[in-house]
Amino acid sequence: MSKQLFILYSVFIIFSATLVESPAAPAGKTGKNPVVITSQSLTADNKNNLAVFEGSVVAKTEDMTIYSDRMTVFYNNSESTINKIEASGNVKVHKKERAIFSDRAVYMNDEKKIIFQGNPKAVEGENVISGAQIIFFLQDDRAVVEESRVILQNRQRPK
């Protein structure tokens, strides 16, 4: 097999088989859905189990989308799983009606969390939370904000 074909095959296997747990799976069963990543360029380093995506990067799962200028994906080739994703430059994570913006974000699969650094800001409707660092725990739908500043819109309902 040619080197280029091998790299493309490896990337296809890694990213079509890279799985995340689906919350929609029936009780007692684990559903799996792919992570789909698009970018202007991809450099795959199978020796070091990492892939670097650059230029208009978009990573989508069933219920979450991550945008950035550059994304490095660390994977376990033997298990076909993603261990960690580091995103940098114009990072935006969109999940349901929430969006979190920052200069850098690190997704840790084992802990099911994303750490946002560099002017992180979480937005839900007109409400805004910012701080030095925001840690979002995906399974718990919970966030921890260091040095927080919160702007809550107090909308009065008409009587």
41, 62, 114, 132 from 13: Cα distances, Å = 18, 19, 25, 37
Q: Can you give the pLDDT at residue 7?
A: 39
Predicted pLDDT at 126: 86
Could you say which residues of the chain have pLDDT below 70? 1-32, 155-159
Write down the pLDDT at residue 24. Answer: 39
Structural domains of the chain, ranges and CATH numbers in brackets: 3-151 (2.60.450.10)
pTM for the structure as a whole: 0.72
pLDDT tens profile 91-107: 998 888 889 999 999 99
Answer yes or no: are the C-beta atoms of 45 and 51 closer than 8 Å.
yes
What percentage of the chain exceeds 70 in pLDDT? Answer: 77
